[in-house]
Amino acid sequence: MVPADSGAPAPPRVVILGGGFGGLYAAKELAHAPVHVTLIDRRNHHVFQPLLYQVATAGLSEPDIAAPIRHVLRHQSNTTVLLADVIAIDPARRTVRLAEGEEIGYDSLIVATGATHAYFGHDEWEPLAPGLKTIEDALLMRSKMLLAFETAEREPDPERRGRELTFAIVGGGPTGVELAGAIREIAQRTMTGDFRNFDPARTRVVLIDAGPRLLAAYPPDLSQRTREMLEQRGVEVITDALVTAIDTNGVTAGGKRIEAGTIFWAAGVKPSPLGRALGAPLDRTGRVLVEPDLTVPGHPDIFVVGDLAAMKSKGEWVPGVAQGAIQSGKHAARMIVRRLHGKPTEPFRFKDLGIMATIGRKAAVAVVGRRHFWGFPAWFLWLSIHIVWLIGFRNRLVVLLDWLWAYLRYQSSARVILTEPPAPAAPAEPAKSAEPALRG
């Protein structure tokens, strides 16, 4: 807080919108800067996105991967965290407006409100095929997945039971691959013995992509490895199949009907509507086309970072991954500090630390520099990086133990169906975080 009795001028006000990877790392970078930081998020928690699919598939509890933003930043005495909904930005008056009407002024603004699911003109599909961006989304997916097995146990008709035990996942990017692998695994390994009227190992998981290969952002050899590892585990992979219809009983993809009681959406994201509110130039998908230093053209006091920004580094587009959000958030914070010292801003340079996606126990794919990894080595790399990262994030050995314990025993600890699953975020809402980490 600014001491009220201080004779010194008030420190410059930095307002950060969004507590995902971009906003949180921007705030952390400003911990010792002579500024007053206000971080505003509509949720009280930062989510460790790379493991969100584990909450959706009952492997982890939601507090394992979510921490109160204000708790993460509690030792930063120059930082205030507000739980609030920002509905407008006024660049001329340098204020943001909260849903409750209150206005908050800034000297520098960092917009890091991320992206949410995109249904490409089919918003009516959202209730039929929920996506995975928030903790609430993950709890809804978890309840839907577990309820399908419960319904199957009570269903005497074999055809309808088969449909209940079919999961269709739309989108073969990292989230789709991870969901497909995890659902097959829970069906085949965790549920064993729990049911009397069917064998959960016969659960069908169908992964559908409109393009010619899974993990389109990865090198083709790893796409092929991913397909092979998924198929070995019993996942049916359908490529070159555009989804044209979704209803409560199935999906039509590539002209073919797939009967499925549960459909999950992992096919695309769209940027937060706050980008449009800035009045800045946008790319075709709605991301803000930022300057090389990540400022908005014509508004050097406004930075856009993470998934909401169309950023270039050394002439190349920066991928929508967690590292992109983290590094761009830090960059924006550093540029604000440079300006305080009268120095000019510098262009953002993205350091590609690699991308990875996990398929299941002992199976993953990864690209680090020019090296490609797959199978057990890639999985071990994935596990090591996420363990180190998660420990740094939560500082809780217990999460690690919980996770390893469940892994070793093929048990899922979080198999609680909530009677009223939390409603998913409305389509127009900005999401809070960047795409899952270290992924392409």
Positions in the binding site for its own copies (CB under 8 A): 1, 42-45, 61-64, 66-68, 70-71, 74-75, 79-84, 100, 102, 134-136, 139, 146-147, 150-151, 153-154, 193-197, 396-398, 401-402, 405, 413-423, 425
178 catalytic per annotation:
yes
Nearer to its own copies, 43 or 299 (CB): 43
Contact 440, 319 (CB under 8 A): yes
Token reading at 407: 């892994």
Residues with Cβ within 8 Å of residue 84, at least 6 apart in sequence: 40, 41, 42, 98, 99, 100, 102
139 and 55 Cβ atoms separated by less than 8 Å: yes
Report the half-sphere exposure of 296 (CA within 13 A, side-chain side).
24
Residue whose tokens read 């600890």: 413
Our CB check for its own copies shows the closer of 73 and 170 to be 73
Q: Of the residues 29, 155, 178, 291, which is catalytic? A: 178
Query: In the complex, what is the shortest distance from the CB of residue 328 to its own copies, in angstroms, rounded to a whole number?
Result: 26
CA gap 373, 366 in Å, rounded: 5
Cα separation of 199 and 380, whole Å?
Answer: 31
Spatial distance between the Cα atoms of 134 and 137, rounded to a whole number of angstroms? 5
Q: Do the strands 355-360 and 363-368 form a parallel or antiparallel pair, or are they unpaired?
A: antiparallel
**Cβ 398 to its own copies, closest distance in Å?**
5
Contact by Cβ (8 Å): 150, 262? no
**Shortest CB 256 distance to its own copies, Å:** 31
Minimum distance, C-beta of residue 58 to its own copies, in the bound complex (Å): 8
Q: Which residue has the tokens 């892994």?
A: 407
Of 160 and 372, CB closest to its own copies: 160
- How many CB atoms are closer than 10 A to CB 392? 8
Residue 182's nearest CA partner among 198, 203, 161, 196 is: 203
Comparing CB distances to its own copies, the nearer of 55 and 318 is: 55
How near is the Cβ of 47 to its own copies at its closest, in Å? 9
Tokens 């990894």 correspond to 373
Residue pair 199/193 in contact by the 8 Å Cβ criterion: no
DSSP 8-state code for residue 245 = E
Comparison of 141 and 318: residue with beta carbon closer to its own copies: 141
Nearer to its own copies, 45 or 330 (CB): 45
* Closest CB 161 distance from its own copies, rounded Å: 14
Which residues are designated catalytic? 178
